[in-house]
Structure 1
Amino acid sequence: MERFDAIILGAGAAGMMAALTAGQRGRRVLLLDHADKPGKKILISGGGRCNFTNVHTAADRFLSANPHFAKSALGRYAPQDFIDLVDRHGIAWHEKTLGQLFCDGSSRQIVAMLTDECAAGGVDIRVQHAITAISKPDDFSVTTDRGTFAAPSLVIATGGPSIPQMGATGFAYDVTRQFGLKVVEPRPALVPLTLSGEAMMFRGLSGIAVDSIARCGKQSFHEASLFTHRGLSGPAILQISSYWRNGEAILLDLLPGRDAAAALIAAKRERPRTQIRTILGELLPARLAELLAEPLGLNGELANIADKALGAAGERLNGWRFVPNGSEGYAKAEVTVGGVDTAGLSSKTMEARKIPGLYFIGEAVDVTGWLGGYNFQWAWASGVAAGQVL
């Protein structure tokens, strides 16, 4: 049996960050993964360019049963800290909308950077190791199909079940329960939503994107929405999906920043002989305008449509109500909401309060960021928090 100071399960963003941090502190670290190479989920992120952080990172951009839990780690490892690391490796990057930072080149550069940093810390990275058992007779013992390893510290960085085609599973939750800790019910997040009933009419608009505000409860996001053959996607919908629960309604403002009712009534005053479909076509993409005319109950010249009807139509355009019948699930979800209950973890070190030496980091934990680099920043920050004390 080989012995180490720490064993980290999961060679993704959080796991590699914890490993390189501990390794560079002189710890003997083993980083295990069942995949054939480290950082596989990083490689596909950001369209292959890795949206590696967001300059607007703050705890209120994360969902958790304990909204304060993420503050400690995020406060001690900020976006600028990761940017400095990226700069030291000569990786060119650029800022897109809403504070999102991407590589100019490829996400492979981020994986190479993390791999090089692990090497600098003497981290032993072993891939294609399927874990068959974990026990704690004294130190932690990890049995794989290629040998057994032991260490006084064990870090679970295996993520959540989102994107199962990349090998993602609920392994972290199994370990959590094995050691008597609690799991906040996981569900897909940052995921396209599916439609049924009257809302299925939107499927005919597949491929059309509109500027919009998506609202669910008190939460709203002003970004693009994309109509798909199954329902709705796009940044605004992905964002609001993290807050949406089955049975809840979503309101979609198709004319953000404009009073649609006032615009329609004003058009009637100025151009009474104009067809309503013409006016809608000036406000919205042509196919969307054509599709909405009938359910809005509008037809013919503006002069023949009562102000009350125009006002009601305008209100719907500023808040089209629909109830999704579900989402596209973990297969299309970028992340998972829920996970290891933070009530059982130290916010400073990510260590389980009842099981000394056991740590949970990254997406496995009940901390889920908004779209746009926030989840990577949580991975880096939580990884460093654990790596500094291993």
Structure 2
Amino acid sequence: MAASPTSYDAIILGAGAAGLMAAARAGQKGMRVAVLEKADKPGKKILISGGGRCNFTNVNAGPGNFLSDNPHFAKSALARYTAQNFIDLVNAHGITWHEKTLGQLFCDGSAKQIVQMLLDECPDDRVDVICEAEVTAVEHEDNRFAVMASGQIFTAPKLVIATGGPSIPKMGASSFAYDLARQFGLKVVEPRPALVPLTLGGDDVLFRELSGVSAPVSARAGSGKKKAEFAEAALFTHKGLSGPAILQISSYWRHGEEIGITFLPEADAEWLIGLKKDYPRANLRTVLRHHLPDRLADALADRIGIETEFSNVPDKALRLAGQQLADWRFTPNGTEGFAKAEVTIGGISTAELSSQTMEAKKVPGLYAIGEAVDVTGWLGGYNFQWAWASGAAAAEAMSDPARVK
């Protein structure tokens, strides 16, 4: 007997990357799925990603590229649905792509192709993607979930939280996933903006005058096991620091901590002393201008304060200048917040979920996937790979005949 219009095998909240992947895989396994999306169309965050070309995965994706209170949690899902699995899917749909730096894969055409591919993967007779469905209440009784959305009631024995985190609220992002998790007694790890520009104040505020200047650097943040270093570009902004290197370390930075920047990462600690021997009449400002944008070179030279020819500068002072350039310390006074954060760090605690199935241990039939969970990837396609992998893991578990009630 066919299911009634409001009765499904599974309800997925959110038609983003993770939700659409879960819907497609579950639908292909024969499940009747309702995907409820409050926006006017699915995949809105996919559409703006990668400058509109969607950095849909990274060939290097592995557990080491993710942050979580439990660094082992992501291993199972990532191992069972790999970057190559998604590349194969993209290829099967005839979507052409290219690799940029550091293993990042982008569509040759448009991110719209990825959204359409995911929708095409959803069997028409099995998956209903319902947009402009604002969820107002969720109830759980007699092993069934009832979801009230825009005046309709949807019921199913399986419910998947795939509504993401609060990053980019202008795209409709909110803390809905965390509120719902808490309703069911699940713990939430403190959510913070991640992959986000840092703001500068105090003595560092003068660097904001360099707005628009970019340079390759090595940037560091964090401490202990949660310490990281990335060698990419940094960009000075009218509020502080951005660019790939800064976005990466922002996930590791905590308020009140310093970050370290190495200008000229290829240079060793003694390089200025070596230049003194070869070019005794050179000065620091001129040398820095050979290697860095003029405005940045001048700002660094002004703060180091060595203006005379190298022949007049003691080796000790040059050594100290080299060390300062190799480990320039900034103390950000904050971030640009969820409004500019690409993703959220923190979320539904992995301690509450099965790493095999993404199902809540306390609430059978309740699943959480994607950015809603306390698993956050690096910049460069990693968060999409987590969305695909966690969505596939949940779908596999939901559609397992041994698990279907």
Q: TM-score range by the shorter chain?
A: over 0.9
Q: Secondary structure at the match of 2:141?
A: coil
Tell me what 1:296 maps to: 304
Tell me what 1:339 maps to: 347
Superposition pairs of residues 45-124 of structure 1, within 5 angstroms: 45-120=49-124, 122-124=126-128
Q: Could you tell me which amino acid in structure 2 is paired with residue 264 of structure 1?
A: L
Q: Secondary structure at the match of 1:136?
A: strand
CA distance in 2, matches of 1:224, 1:293: 20
Q: Do structure 1's residue 198 and structure 2's residue 207 form an aligned pair? A: no
What is the CA distance between 1:378 and its match in structure 2? Answer: 0.3
CA distance in 1, matches of 2:151, 2:53: 33
Q: Is the 8 A contact 1:26 1:121 kept in 2?
A: no
Q: Could you tell me which amino acid in structure 2 is paired with residue 235 of structure 1?
A: P
Tell me what 2:255 maps to: 246
Q: Do structure 1's residue 188 and structure 2's residue 182 form an aligned pair? A: no
Q: Is the 8 A contact 2:28 2:123 kept in 1?
A: no
CA distance in 2, matches of 1:145, 1:120: 22
Tell me what 1:264 maps to: 272
Q: Is the 8 A contact 2:18 2:370 kept in 1?
A: yes
Q: Is the 8 A contact 1:22 1:389 kept in 2?
A: no
Q: Could you tell me which amino acid in structure 1 is paired with residue 253 of structure 2?
A: W
Provide Cα deviations, 1:72-114, integer angstroms capped at 9, x if missing partner: 0000000011011100100000111111000000000000101
Q: Is the 8 A contact 2:54 2:107 kept in 1?
A: yes
Q: Do structure 1's residue 308 and structure 2's residue 316 form an aligned pair? A: yes
- Percent sequence identity is 65
Q: Could you tell me which amino acid in structure 2 is paired with residue 140 of structure 1?
A: F
Which blocks of at least 5 consecutive residues in structure 2 are unaligned? Answer: 399-405
Tell me what 1:39 maps to: 43
Superposition pairs of residues 218-237 of structure 1, within 5 angstroms: 218-237=227-246
Aligned with 2:388 (options 380, 385, 389): 380
What is the CA distance between 1:293 and its match in structure 2? Answer: 1.2
Q: Could you tell me which amino acid in structure 2 is paired with residue 56 of structure 1?
A: N
Q: May I ask how many residue pairs the two structures share in their alignment?
A: 389
Give the CA RMSD over aligned residues. Answer: 1.0
What is the CA distance between 1:58 and its match in structure 2? Answer: 0.7
What is the CA distance between 1:212 and its match in structure 2? Answer: 0.6
CA distance in 1, matches of 2:73, 2:326: 36
Provide Cα deviations, 1:8-40, integer angstroms capped at 9, x if missing partner: 000000000000100011100000010000000
What is the CA distance between 1:126 and its match in structure 2? Answer: 0.4
CA distance in 2, matches of 1:16, 1:52: 14
CA distance in 2, matches of 1:276, 1:99: 36
Q: Could you tell me which amino acid in structure 1 is paired with residue 243 of structure 2?
A: G
CA distance in 2, matches of 1:80, 1:275: 51
Moved more, 261-270 or 318-327: 261-270
Q: Secondary structure at the match of 1:244?
A: coil
Q: Could you tell me which amino acid in structure 1 is paired with residue 163 of structure 2?
A: T
What is the CA distance between 1:298 and its match in structure 2? Answer: 0.9
Which blocks of at least 5 consecutive residues in structure 1 are unaligned? Answer: none
CA distance in 2, matches of 1:318, 1:225: 15
CA distance in 2, matches of 1:59, 1:275: 46
Q: Could you tell me which amino acid in structure 1 is paired with residue 311 of structure 2?
A: A
CA distance in 2, matches of 1:274, 1:52: 48
Q: Secondary structure at the match of 1:150?
A: strand
What is the CA distance between 1:137 and its match in structure 2? Answer: 1.9
Moved more, 179-188 or 136-145: 136-145
CA distance in 2, matches of 1:176, 1:249: 33
CA distance in 2, matches of 1:191, 1:162: 10
Provide Cα deviations, 1:156-194, integer angstroms capped at 9, x if missing partner: 000000000000000000011000110000000000000
CA distance in 2, matches of 1:304, 1:120: 78
Tell me what 2:401 maps to: none
Aligned with 1:320 (options 324, 328, 338): 328
CA distance in 1, matches of 2:24, 2:375: 22
What is the CA distance between 1:300 and its match in structure 2? Answer: 2.0
| Moved beyond 3 Å, runs of 4+ | none
Moved more, 132-141 or 278-287: 278-287
CA distance in 2, matches of 1:45, 1:144: 28
Tell me what 2:374 maps to: 366
Aligned with 2:141 (options 116, 128, 137): 137
Provide Cα deviations, 1:193-220, integer angstroms capped at 9, x if missing partner: 0001121121111111111110113310
What is the CA distance between 1:294 and its match in structure 2? Answer: 1.7
Provide Cα deviations, 1:230-254, integer angstroms capped at 9, x if missing partner: 1010111000000000011100001
Q: Secondary structure at the match of 1:143?
A: strand
